[in-house]
């Protein structure tokens, strides 16, 4: 017992001296980076949560903890991605339906965090907002390590635009969002439960063909997302109903798909617990509006 304590003490002291010797790192940065395993476990625990009220109450404190760590280590790309993912998920799961203006601001906050990570990956805000051809050229140079930053920048940007569809300036930004997400598809179509396929299913399915929609392509993306998730991710059906089936005016299929989500058994993958609970909630909300939507 004593030997173990002494041995562990030597390890701790050694790690401490190693951390203090790292060049260019302040004490605050070292503390922030040392919290990384705790943050990762916290994200995993939240993803496995089944009680939506507990998740709703817990997520804001977790987000503020990540932002506190970012005050000490603002260039930490991993924390930026986790903050973007958290603000995006909180807005979509708990805020958008009842408080769309607040959700819009939260999506913007998610975008701002993700954009810092994307800049660290090689895409500056100036290039992102500048000449489209130059932006696409830079995109071709980004490798798989940039996928999280690309995905969360595009996801939060897309949702931010979706809540401002009456603003022509926002609509003009959609091709840039599409370009980012297209790069995600090329580099890693499986990232975040095939989220890029969900994005394009909604992107092509949520608009009439005369405005750039393409129902065939939407079906292909939703089907691929379902395949990659082995039909365990209920957001695929919710998005299919919300965007594609609603736009097609197929009320029977809309009702059937969302009803299936409500009675679907729990996934054998615990990491989908919260996502699927939120999908069931969203399915119920859409079904409650069925008469209005059709």
DSSP state of 264: P
How far apart are the C-alpha atoms of 91 and 184, rounded to whole Å? 22
C-beta neighbour count of 161 within 10 angstroms: 21
Tell me the per-residue pLDDT of 37-53, one tens digit each, with 9 for 90 and over.
778 888 899 999 999 99
Task: State the average pLDDT over residues 83-101.
Answer: 97
CATH of 29-188, one of 1.10.1740.10, 1.25.40.920, 1.10.3720.10, 3.40.640.10: 1.25.40.920
How far apart are the C-alpha atoms of 130 and 117, rounded to whole Å? 18
Of 233, 236, 227, which Cα lies nearest the Cα of 273?
233
- Is the model's pLDDT at 267 over the cut of 90? no
Least confident of 22-26, 31-35, 241-245, 264-268: 22-26
Of 86, 99, 94, which Cα lies nearest the Cα of 43?
86
Task: State the average pLDDT over residues 175-193.
Answer: 97
Q: What is the pLDDT of residue 59?
A: 97
- Mean of all residue pLDDT scores within the chain: 90
3-state secondary structure of 105: helix
Q: What is the pLDDT of residue 3?
A: 39
Q: What is the pTM of this model?
A: 0.88
Of 245, 281, 292, which Cα lies nearest the Cα of 98?
281
Domain extent listing, the chain: 29-188, 190-294
Task: State the average pLDDT over residues 216-238.
Answer: 97
């Amino acid at each position: 017992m004593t030997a173990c304590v002494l041995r562990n003490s030597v390890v701790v002291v050694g790690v401490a001296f190693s951390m203090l010797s790292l060049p260019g790192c302040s004490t605050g940065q070292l503390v922030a980076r040392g919290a990384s395993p705790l943050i990762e476990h916290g994200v995993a625990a939240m993803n496995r949560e089944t009680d939506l009220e507990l998740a709703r109450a817990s997520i804001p404190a977790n987000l503020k903890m990540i932002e506190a760590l970012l005050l000490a280590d603002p260039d930490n790309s991993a924390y930026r991605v986790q903050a973007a993912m958290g603000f995006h998920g909180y807005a979509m799961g708990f805020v958008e339906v009842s408080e769309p203006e607040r959700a819009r601001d939260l999506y913007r906050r998610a975008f701002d965090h993700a954009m810092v990570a994307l800049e660290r990956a090689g895409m500056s805000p100036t290039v992102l907002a500048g000449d489209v051809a130059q932006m696409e050229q830079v995109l071709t140079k980004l490798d798989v390590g940039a996928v999280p930053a690309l995905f969360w920048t595009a996801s939060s940007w897309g949702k931010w635009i979706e809540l401002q569809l009456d603003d022509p300036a926002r609509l003009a930004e959609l091709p840039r969002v599409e370009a980012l997400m297209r790069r995600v598809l090329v580099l890693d179509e499986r990232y975040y439960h095939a989220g890029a396929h969900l994005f394009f299913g909604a992107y092509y399915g949520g608009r009439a063909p005369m405005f750039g929609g393409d129902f065939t392509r939407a079906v292909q993306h939703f089907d691929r997302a379902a395949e990659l998730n082995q039909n365990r991710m209920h957001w695929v059906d919710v998005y299919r109903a919300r965007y594609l089936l609603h736009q097609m005016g197929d009320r029977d299929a809309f009702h059937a798909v969302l009803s299936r989500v409500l009675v679907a058994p729990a996934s054998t993958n615990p990491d989908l617990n919260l996502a699927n609970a939120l999908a069931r909630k969203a399915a119920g909300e859409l079904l409650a509006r069925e008469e209005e939507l059709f």
